[in-house]
Amino acid sequence: MSLKQKDLVSIASLSTDEIMMILETAESFKEVSGREIKKVPALRGKTVVNFFFEPSTRTRTSFELAAKRLSADVINFSPSSSSVVKGETLLDTARNIEAMQADIIVLRHPAAGAAETLARGVKSSVINAGDGWHEHPTQALLDLFTMREKKLDFKGLRVAIVGDLAHSRVARSNIYALTKLGTEVRAVGPPTMIPAYLDRLGVRVSYNLDEALRGVDVIMMLRLQLERQGRALFPTIREYSRLYGLTAERLRLAEPGALVMHPGPINRGVEIAPEVADSFSSVILDQVANGVAVRMGVLYLLSGGN
């Protein structure tokens, strides 16, 4: 039992069977994370390199913990402290890492397609931890895992994804995953943040949050990238928050017991009201906990002998 490819670059390239296999494998690893001794020897002697060209605390820590709980050796590599600042290309740096017998490279990079390029250029397995606006597959997998844990069945589930879908790799990976599994996906946000190709993926687009929330089982809020303010995507944060922020009142429009998700980091009071983020509906911290189990699953499945 393994994934068909040596890498995990995108959700788009996974079959539904592979997605379900990853979720089931992660289930076993959730039990390991609940133990007093949170370590199993499955990846003993393997080396995992975290190669992060963008700031990240959650994802990098999550991958690091996942690898360590599997007994792999972990090296963290960031461009500011490496020869990348001296002008070495991505592939050359990666080949050097590979020459030191790295088994798995976890890459986060600001350019879409960086993970694919790397995967083709090295023999090590490559896991995409976010490449530009393209994909962030392990985030979508941990979101799926969290939904399955709470709701069980993807078929017939209704999920609203709210915010800047145009610039969100999290949204894109989730849309690929959820539509493959037969889930109804609604995209909500200001027209400037909704890409044109969404209808082709079978996603229902809405510009009105109140209307889109009616009857949904899961509300997935995206982070408003405040650094984009002033790029004509939205007039003011206050207006965005009034139109697309999730408040306790709006939450009542969804199905009773609907889940509130957010990939983090959250902007309290902007896209999500503090009382919603801290409510019983919120599974934001479950997502973080499940992230470790899902990444353990992916590392395990990609680490078969060669």
Residues recognised as catalytic = 58-59, 86, 108, 136
The residue written with tokens 């995992």 in the block is 48
Residues making contact with other proteins (CB under 8 A): 1-2, 24-25, 27-29, 31-32, 35-37, 39-46, 300-301, 303-306
Report d(CA 260, CA 163) in Å as an integer.
14
Least CB distance to other proteins at residue 135 (A): 23
Q: How far is the CB of 28 from other proteins (least distance, A)?
A: 4
Nearer to other proteins, 70 or 118 (CB): 70
CB of 24 to other proteins, least distance (A): 8
Q: Judged by CB, which is closer to other proteins: 26, or 221?
A: 26
**Closer residue to other proteins in complex, CB, 102/222:** 102
Sign of CA dihedral 251, 253, 259, 261: negative
Tell me how far, at minimum, the Cβ of 302 lies from other proteins, in Å.
9
Cβ nearer to other proteins, comparing 30 with 150: 30
Q: Which is nearer to other proteins, 148 or 262 (CB)?
A: 148
For residue 105, the minimal CB distance to other proteins (Å) is 18
At its nearest, how many Å lie between other proteins and the CB of residue 17? 13
Please provide the DSSP assignment of the chain as one string. Answer: ---SSS-B--STTS-HHHHHHHHHHHHHHHHHHTSSS----TTTT-EEEEEESS--SHHHHHHHHHHHHTT-EEEEE-GGGSGGGGT--HHHHHHHHHHTT-SEEEEEESSTTHHHHHHHH-SSEEEEEEETTTB-HHHHHHHHHHHHHHH---TT-EEEEES--TT-HHHHHHHHHHHHTT-EEEEES-GGGS-GGGGGGTPEEES-HHHHHTT-SEEEEPPP-GGGTTSSS-S-HHHHHHHH-B-HHHHTTS-TT-EEE--S---BTTTB-HHHHTSTTB-HHHHHHHHHHHHHHHHHHHT---
